[in-house]
Structure formats: structure tokens, C-alpha cells
Amino acid sequence: MRIVYKVLAYAVAVEVALQASFMVLGIAGLGKWIDAGGTFDKASMESDDSMFPEAVGFMLHGVNGSIVIPALALILLIVSFFARIPRGVRWAVAVFVLVAVQANLGFAGHELPIMGALHGLNALLLFTVAFLAARRAGAPAKTGAADDSARVSTPA
């Protein structure tokens, strides 16, 4: 369970990094498209047929952010109950809460763009917390008492 926790927490961190990458890919593609004389409006935004190839970045950002990352954070939380990592549950809860905040900021940004700015900052916080959670799972337990699972499964 410890290894599963570790992999999931790293996966959240990697996914957050990808999210930033997808978004900038899309925006760069949009800039290039406009520069070449293309236009982009609500009608084209709502079409699933991309006018420029990099628009796939927006699509991936949406699917990843609304489905994949919340699912990873949820599974991490459930795994944390069984993983017996010192403060592992707290870190998983922190990841889960930050993911929820992140999704809400993302959607709120449609209405209030300043929330989008906070979405960008919260991403860094989420990345850091997910990364630290993963590191925590990787660190050897300091005291035996903190890690009963090792004792029970391997009696001396």
C-alpha cells in the first residue's frame, strides 16, 4: 500500500505539471493561429473540431483536470487509510482538498478571470504537497512504533 500511495502521489504531481504544459501548448497554438490570420470566437471554441492542432492542449487539460486528477486524488485518499504512513492520511487529505479547490478555481475562472490566476498559483501548491506526500511515503519509518504494518507482516 505504501508503494501505491507513493506512485499515486507522484502521479498527481506529474499530472499537475502536465496540466501546466497542456495549457501553454494550447495558448501558444492559439497565438500562432491568430497571428496567421485565424479567428477564434465562442462558436469555434465550442466546436470539438480544433481549428489549430495545439487546441488538443485545452481538451487534455479539461479531461485531466475534471476527471483524471480528481480520481487519482480520491484513490490516494482511500489508499492512505491503509498505507500506514505517518501523517499519510493528512497529506492525502491535503492533496484531495487542494484538488477540489483547484477544480473550483478553474471553473470559477470562466466567470471571474482572477480566479484563473489563483488557479495557476494553487497548482504550484498542489504540485508541492503531492510531491512531499510521495517523498513521505518513500522515507524509511523513523521508529518501529510508527510502522506497525512492517512488524506484523514480518515478525522477527
Partner 1 sequence: MPSRVRGARGRTVAACVAAALVIAPLAWWWQVSRLPGSYAMTSVGHPDTGGAAARHAHPGGVDVTTLVADPHRRADVSVTLTARHQRLRVGSRTMDGFTLNGTSPGPVIRAVRGQLVEVRLVNESVRGGVTLHWHGVDVPNAADGVAGVTQDAVRIGEAYTYRFVADQAGTFWYHSHQASSEQVKRGLLGALVVSPRPVVRTGEQNTAADVVALVHQYGPARTVNGQPGDLRVPLAPGATARVRVINTENGPMSAWVAGAAYRVVAVDGTDLTGPTAVRDTAVLVTAGGRADLEVRAPADGTAVRVHLGGPHGVVLGGAGETLTGKDQAPVASTAPAGKPRATLDLLTYGTPTPLAFDPDRPDRRFRYDIGRRPGFLDGRPGMWWTINGHLYPDVPMFVVAEGDVVRMTVSNHSGEVHPMHLHGHHAVVLSRNGVPATGSRWWIDSLDVANGETYEIAFVADNPGIWMDHCHNLPHAAQGLVTHLMYEGVTSPFAVGGHRDNEPE
Q: Residue numbers of the site for partner 1 (CB under 8 A)?
A: 37-39, 41-52, 66-67, 70, 74, 77-78, 81-82, 84, 89, 103, 107-108, 110-111, 148-149, 151-152, 155
Q: Given the complex with partner 1, which of 51 and 125 has the nearer CB atom?
A: 51
3-class SS letters over 94-148: HHHHHHHHHHHHHHHHHHCHHHHHHHHHHHHHHHHHHHHHHHHHHCCCCCHHHCH
Residue closer to partner 1 (CB basis): 32 or 128: 32
How many C-beta atoms lie closer than 10 Å to residue 143's C-beta? 7
Shortest reach from residue 47's CB to partner 1, in Å = 5
Cell of 119: 488557479
Closer by beta carbon to partner 1, 13 or else 88: 88
Smaller CB separation from partner 1, 79 or 131? 79
In the complex, least distance from residue 127 CB atom to partner 1, rounded to whole angstroms: 22
Min dist. Cβ of residue 95 to partner 1 (A): 14
Amino acid in position 80: S
Query: Nearest Cα to 74, choosing from 59, 50, 95, 52?
Result: 95
H or E element at residue 15: helix 2-35
Q: For residues 13 and 98, is the Cβ–Cβ distance under 8 A?
A: no
Nearer to partner 1, 22 or 52 (CB): 52
- Confirm if 34 and 145 have CB atoms less than 8 A apart: no
To partner 1, the closest distance from the beta carbon of 42 in angstroms equals 3
CB of 107 to partner 1, least distance (A): 6
